[in-house]
A and B are shown apart, each in its own frame.
Chain A
Amino acid sequence: MDNRDELQIIERIRQGETNQFSYLLNRYSNVIYSLIARIIPSKEDAEELTQDTFLKAFRKLDTFKGDCSFSTWLFRIAYNTAVSATRKSKIVFPLIDETMLARVADEEADAVFEEENEELLRKLEIALEKLNLEERALITLYYTEDKPVAEIAAIMELTADNVKIKLFRIRKKLYVLINKQQAQ
């Protein structure tokens, strides 16, 4: 199903063929759930938020203008739904000293993340748990969903430059968190 077919299906849903929504569900339910589950700690909450995302998408389908792809629009709804849910539940993410991040050179982080030894991967897994919601969403979209920077910017309503800066900052943060584990 290409973008044009998708737009035709959306148009048919708008005209009352609600059962056509199942095509969109079959195509996107797992990727949306995967994004939310990676940024929300509880799997049950992630499932509920996936439902909320699709219900919002259905209710707001008339507002989809087609100026971006349907997947970008849907990912944006999923991200915003997850953000509002975490605001309500008041999840606290650990903060990291900005001066420590400023001291890390890009080359240092590059060298570490090129390795693929088991020890590093284990530490990296622990470090990833300490990222906040926005950071988790950014790296999930960039590394797991392989979305281009411009699309991530559209989903998260940021500029492309801002996305790049944030991605660099996340790499440095992960590097600092790994080093902290080594020091302990």
Chain B
Amino acid sequence: MKHDKAIAKVLKRRSEFTLPDGFNSRMMEKIFLAEAKKKRQAFILNICLISFVSLSLIAMAVYLLWDSLSTLTFRTPALHITSEALSQYGFCFYIAFLVMVLFGLDHLFRSRWHKKRFKEAGH
């Protein structure tokens, strides 16, 4: 690639481009400000991220709890008592009652018999 003398000379002799005094120190101040802003943004981003993750976890826990409780309710069988079943239940209660009456009578007769034996033995 050719390096033309005339072009190079014109470009180099054009006004010297130098930055004003104090540019670098002013620039460093801006860099420090940019760094502080960067840190602040990172902090806010972290807070947002942590809040988002925490809220998501809480929401998930609530949802899972709610879901499992509603499933439990769902699984509880509903009682549908038909007339046929009701007569069966009635018969069962009747037998149970009869058994209780018989146990009661048994207890009564036994206690009377024991009392009678006790009186005969005392005399």
Contact = CB atoms under 8 A, between A and B. Distances in A.
Given A55-B31, A58-B34, A22 B24 contact: yes
A139 B7 contact: yes
B98 interface: no
Interface of A: 18-19, 21-22, 25-26, 29-30, 33-34, 37-38, 43, 46-47, 50-51, 54-55, 58-59, 110, 112-116, 120-121, 124-125, 128, 139-140, 142-144, 149, 164, 167, 171, 174
Contacts of A59: 34, 38
A115 B18 CA distance: 29
Interface string B20-54: 10011001101110110010000000000000000
B10 interface: yes
| Contact count band on B | 20 to 34
A55 B34 contact: yes
Interface in B6-25: 6-14, 17-20, 23-24
Contact of A128 (B1, B5, B10): B10
A21 B31 contact: yes
B10 A47 contact: no
B2 interface: yes
B19 to A, nearest CB: 5
Contacts of B38: 59
A114 B8 CA distance: 11
Contacts of A55: 30-31, 34
Nearest to B8: A143
A21 B25 CA distance: 11
Contacts of B18: 30, 33
Contacts of B9: 116, 121
26 contacts: A29-B19, A30-B18, A34-B17, A37-B17, A38-B14, A38-B17, A46-B17, A47-B19, A50-B19, A50-B23, A55-B30, A58-B34, A110-B4, A113-B4, A113-B5, A113-B7, A114-B4, A116-B9, A121-B6, A121-B10, A125-B10, A140-B11, A143-B3, A144-B8, A164-B1, A171-B4
